[in-house]
Amino acid sequence: MLSNSDSQASFFDTSFICEGLIPTESFYRKFREIVWPLIDDEMFASMYCLDNGRPPISPALLAMATILQFHKNLSDREMERACMFDIEVKYALGLKLDERPFDHSSLGDFRKRLLESGKQKEVFDRILQELVDQELVGKTEIQRIDATHVIADVAIPTMVTMVKKGVREVIKPLHKRHKETHKAISKLIDLSQYDRKTVNHDADGRLDMEKRQSLLVDVVHDAKTVLRQVENIEGDEILSRRVGLLKRILQEHITEEDGRPKEKNKKDKPPDLLVSPVDPDARYGAKSVNKKFQGYKANVTETVESRFITNITAMPGNKPDGRTMVQTVVEQEGHGLIPEKVVGDTAYGDGSYRKDLEKHGTKVVAPQRLRNTKTRAVFPKSTFQYDEENQRLTCPAGETTSTYYWDRTKEIRMFHFHLSKCSRCKLLRQCTRAKEKRRTVGIHAQHWQLIEAEQYNRTEQFKEDMKLRPPIEGKLSELVRYHGMRRARYRGINKLGLQLYFTAAAVNLKRWIKLEMNKMKPKPPELAIA
């Protein structure tokens, strides 16, 4: 039951005792002044029963404590201790000196309720809306965008451990809900190999390749035995999901050679490869040739002038940086934010991103990626005249072709110029370096956006715009170094999203409080003019 918290004042209130102790310029004093009016229990009323059950701990208190937790980069237990013994934290949250407000498990329960009700972004949105209302964030202000990687909260298992974990995930719900099946499986395989203590343990000492292969054969055999036993169980969604996960592990990682299971070669494994059954949303990713990781990416948009985070989204680590760009920008319309421009690096220069954001009134400013090295330093696509109505293409030498085929995978019209004409052309060496000595030009559905971008990227204004992008690296560094965003605290992309929103909310508050403190600084005296 949701009810108002006890507001009875006492001499143990930090409001009385610490009023003169906490400095005027303290972050925690400003936190109390700014956040208290913004966050109340009514924001979270739908998460609780209004007329039944025991009164819960104030969700507004838990929300503010969670902001401070991410601000200070503390674990749940550390935050519980801070609420008991840290006077500044007690003052910021309005706690009594002798008060132990909640157990650390209450923070986890609060996060669970936020996710179940879809309110994981509620606090971030409330703070951002206040920044917009106070005109600290301009509605059309230019923004910049970039992504950073987030390492998953998993240990990368060996192939044997990967299969064993998949088997354990299937076996766990059987003990309570399908006892007969569990009993049948216990007679066919050694369940002691799949308990909590031994599932991560291959064998004592280092295994040679022959023993490792033999062990893999055994666990794959056990996995197939378990799958056969549970194949007829219906109506259990959790079990069905875990069975699908085990099947995926075997399909992606295991092949057979001479009738014996064997791990696939790396090149034969699919690109969307499962990292661990413990966190099925995590993926193998790379920010560069040498910087590889296992986990996720976080896309961040930041205003150029005021330097507030306007949105942050999570995505699997194997997705391109720009994959959630349109979502990250368009979601801001709920706050009335339609940035004039969004500045990013090459990863955000795709034609589809440009076209989609153009519909929402935002111009994408980003370098274009040269995907075809054969056409580097030759006639660019913009020098060819495209007749969209008649589907014809004319080259700089005046030759026109209507011969093309539709590439379904890339959604491109590939126009071909006749070999007999290209081979005799005086401009051939300036036009293409292809071995077949003829030019092929791909026309995207976003052709005109790409042509416009190519022309704009030659201007001085483009150079000035790109100077606005680098400072976002500082914001990413702040999120990672001081607020723990480099590593996921929780498992699953939805839980990671909650972590990102609260981290961004804490950083926005820190920026907001800094601006308020700057207003308090005395202005330098004006110099008298003789």
Task: Write out pLDDT tens, residues 49-66.
Answer: 777 766 678 999 999 999
pLDDT of residue 338: 96
- 341-to-16, 25, 140, 353 alpha-carbon distances in Å: 49, 35, 8, 13
Alpha helices in 194-236 (DSSP H): 209-230
3-state secondary structure 92-108: HHCCECCCCCCCHHHHH
Calpha distance 82→66 (Å, rounded): 12
User: Are 310 and 303 within 8 A, CB to CB?
Assistant: yes
User: Are 54 and 529 within 8 A, CB to CB?
Assistant: no
User: Are 298 and 472 within 8 A, CB to CB?
Assistant: no
3-state secondary structure 329-377: HHHHHHHCCCCCEEECCHHHCCHHHHHHHHHCCCEEECCCCCCCHHHCC
* pLDDT, greater one: 45 or 206: 45
For domain 143-150+284-362+462-503, the CATH class is alpha beta
pLDDT of residue 526: 66
In the chain, % of residues over pLDDT 70: 91
The encoded tokens of residue 260 equal 């014996």
Burial class of residue 205 (count of CB atoms within 10 Å of its CB; 0-12, 13-18, 19+): exposed
Q: Return the residue matching tokens 């839980």.
A: 495
Calpha distance 220→226 (Å, rounded): 10
* pLDDT, greater one: 119 or 373: 119
User: Are 29 and 80 within 8 A, CB to CB?
Assistant: no
Segment holding 262, helix H or strand E: strand 260-263
- pLDDT band of residue 216 (cuts 50, 70, 90) is confident
Q: What is the DSSP letter of 396?
A: T
In the chain, % of residues over pLDDT 90: 50
Calpha distance 223→189 (Å, rounded): 9
- pLDDT band of residue 197 (cuts 50, 70, 90) is confident
Query: Which of 153-167, 364-378, 476-490 bottoms out in mean pLDDT, i.e. has the lowest?
Result: 364-378
Calpha distance 162→200 (Å, rounded): 9
User: Are 504 and 124 within 8 A, CB to CB?
Assistant: yes
User: Are 154 and 282 within 8 A, CB to CB?
Assistant: yes
- Amino acid at site 245: L
Burial class of residue 416 (count of CB atoms within 10 Å of its CB; 0-12, 13-18, 19+): middle
Rg, the chain, Cα only:
29
Calpha distance 501→124 (Å, rounded): 6
pLDDT of residue 12: 54
Task: Write out pLDDT tens, residues 62-99.
Answer: 999 999 999 999 999 999 999 999 989 998 998 888 78
Among the listed residues 69, 96, 506, 41, the one whose alpha carbon sits nearest the alpha carbon of residue 312: 506
CB under 8 Å to 502, separation ≥6 — which residues?
A: 66, 67, 69, 70, 123, 124
Question: Going by DSSP bridges, is the β-strand pair 274-276/279-286 parallel, antiparallel, or unpaired?
Answer: antiparallel
pLDDT of residue 50: 72
pLDDT of residue 514: 93
Task: Write out pLDDT tens, residues 284-330.
Answer: 998 777 888 999 999 999 999 999 999 999 999 999 999 999 999 99
* pLDDT, greater one: 147 or 263: 147
Query: Which of 241-245, 406-410, 455-459, 488-492 bottoms out in mean pLDDT, i.e. has the lowest?
Result: 406-410
Say if residue 11's pLDDT is above 50.
no
- Amino acid at site 329: V
Domain with CATH 3.30.420 in the chain: 143-150+284-362+462-503
Task: Write out pLDDT tens, residues 140-155.
Answer: 999 999 999 999 998 8
